[in-house]
Amino acid sequence: MMPTMKARRIGRLTVAASLGQAAWATRRHWQALPAERRSRLQALLRQTAGGPANLTQNDRQELRRLVGELHLGEVLRNSAMRATRGGRRW
C-alpha cells in the first residue's frame, strides 16, 4: 500500500473512532435524562418538523432548556480532547 493511501485509511479510522466516541457519550447523556424529560424533548423535536418557528415561544424556551440538560458542549469538548490526544479514555 502506498504511504498516502495508508495515511488516508488511518485518518478515516481516526475520524470514525472519534465519531463513535461522541455518539457513545451523547447516548450516556441522553440516558441520564429522566424518562419524562426525554419523552418531552422527543415530542418537541417532532413538533418542530425541522423548523423552530413551528413551536410557540414557550415551547422553544423549553426545548432550549431540555437540550441544555444534555450538556452537548461537554460531550463535544471531551471528544475533541480525546481526538487531539490520539488516545482513548474509557
Range of the domain at 10: 3-85
| Amino acid 61: pLDDT | 96
Question: Is 90 domain-assigned?
Answer: no
* Cα 74 to Cα 85: distance, rounded to the nearest angstrom: 16
72-84 per-position pLDDT tens digit: 888 778 777 776 6
Residue 59's nearest CA partner among 72, 49, 48, 50 is: 48
Question: Is 80 domain-assigned?
Answer: yes
| Amino acid 70: pLDDT | 86
Decide which of 7 and 64 is more confident: 64
Question: Is 8 domain-assigned?
Answer: yes
4-47 per-position pLDDT tens digit: 665 566 677 777 877 887 888 888 889 989 999 999 999 999 99
